[in-house]
Structure 1
Amino acid sequence: MAAGEDLLWDARDKGMQMVPRLWRLGVTAGVLGFLALLLLVASHAVWALYAGALYLIAEIVYWVWDRGRLVEARIVAGEADGPAKIRLRRVGGRISEHDARRVTRALVIHDNVLDQATLRLRVHKGRFLFGRPGRAPALTAWRQACPNAEVGDRAAWWGMPGVPD
């Protein structure tokens, strides 16, 4: 495939979302601190400290996982008429290039409720990459860009309660 700079995946939100995350952390710390001070007078408030620590750990784990998610995938031409490469950009800003023939699976999962989709990509050595939600791409572009990949799509396994599928 003669490749230019064809866009394969584009997420709707490409930012780190640090301000909302810091607000959540600050409000949660303030509320748990207030509860700990309020309950410390009458009883043991160790549970509030444990809850705050668990929330902080969960937020850090999610932040680390979110930094590795894909926000953009492009097919670019290889050097000297070589094989095409896929350029992947992540939330944290890291850009990596992979041989398009080494992509083994590209799965697009359509949301049942919102008009968006997520991407699950498996590259060589069985490494999974997850994409942030974005508009559903054309699967023919993925099939042409990655000839050895299993390219498919499916609907999400959940829906709105009370709405028949």
Structure 2
Amino acid sequence: MAIGEDLLWDAADKGTRTRARLRRLAVTAGCAGLFVLVLWAYSDSTWAACAAAAYVLAEISYRVWDRRRLVEVQIVTGDADSRVTLRLRQADGRTTEHDPHHVTRVLIIHDNVVHSAKLRLRLRGKRVLRGRPGRPPSLTTWRSACPTAHVRERGAWWGMPGIPD
């Protein structure tokens, strides 16, 4: 088993992107508000208000979903006992530690357009944890860190138009 603090997953973007998301939300809400004011006098513009509200709800739900994505997975050994744990850090900064034997599946999906990969990690009795895109990691490190997990990789199911897969 891997000894020391090895980095198993490292996302390319670890920030919460709050400023860009708030700016985009403010510009969209302002444009939709101006659009509603212009059309309010001439026709029924409730569809524009509903579309703006639907956009705001979609942006909020994406933010909630994105905050739970993994940005870092590390192997950490304890000081007193040589017990190995996995430290999972999410995009919102929350860190949890899990036993490597509780990992049941590790799937790494390679993007065939850009040199990056996505991570899907399933823990025993819990749902799938997804990682933000990052550099493709080595599968041998995952296999040695999580000996009971089914570790595999696959290519993405999409391709570029005009280029045969």
Aligned match of 1:87: 87
- CA offset at residue 81 of structure 1? 3.2
- CA offset at residue 58 of structure 1? 0.4
Aligned match of 1:144: 144
CA distance in 2, matches of 1:52, 1:114: 33
Aligned match of 1:5: 5
CA distance in 2, matches of 1:106, 1:74: 14
Q: Give the structure-1-normalised TM-score.
A: 0.96
After superposition, the C-alpha distances for 1:17-75 in whole angstroms (9 at most, x for unaligned) are 01110111011111111110111010011011100110010000000010000000001
- The more displaced of 32-41 and 141-150 is 32-41
Q: Does 1:164 align with 2:157?
A: no
Q: Does 1:43 align with 2:43?
A: yes
SS in 2 for 1:119: strand
Residue type matched to 2:62 in 1?
Y
CA distance in 2, matches of 1:2, 1:139: 13
- The more displaced of 19-28 and 142-151 is 19-28
Aligned match of 1:25: 25
CA distance in 2, matches of 1:102, 1:20: 36
- CA offset at residue 78 of structure 1? 3.8
- CA offset at residue 131 of structure 1? 0.1
8 A Cα contact 1:83 1:100, kept in partner:
no
8 A Cα contact 1:2 1:77, kept in partner:
no
Aligned match of 2:118: 118
- CA offset at residue 121 of structure 1? 0.2
SS in 2 for 1:21: helix
Aligned pair count reads: 165
Name the Cα RMSD after superposition. Answer: 1.1
CA distance in 2, matches of 1:101, 1:84: 10
**Percentage of identical aligned residues:** 58
- The more displaced of 22-31 and 75-84 is 75-84
Aligned match of 2:133: 133
Structure 2 stretches of 5 or more lacking a match?
none
**Following TM superposition, where does structure 1 have runs of at least 4 consecutive aligned residues deviating by more than 2 angstroms?**
78-83
Structure 1 stretches of 5 or more lacking a match?
none
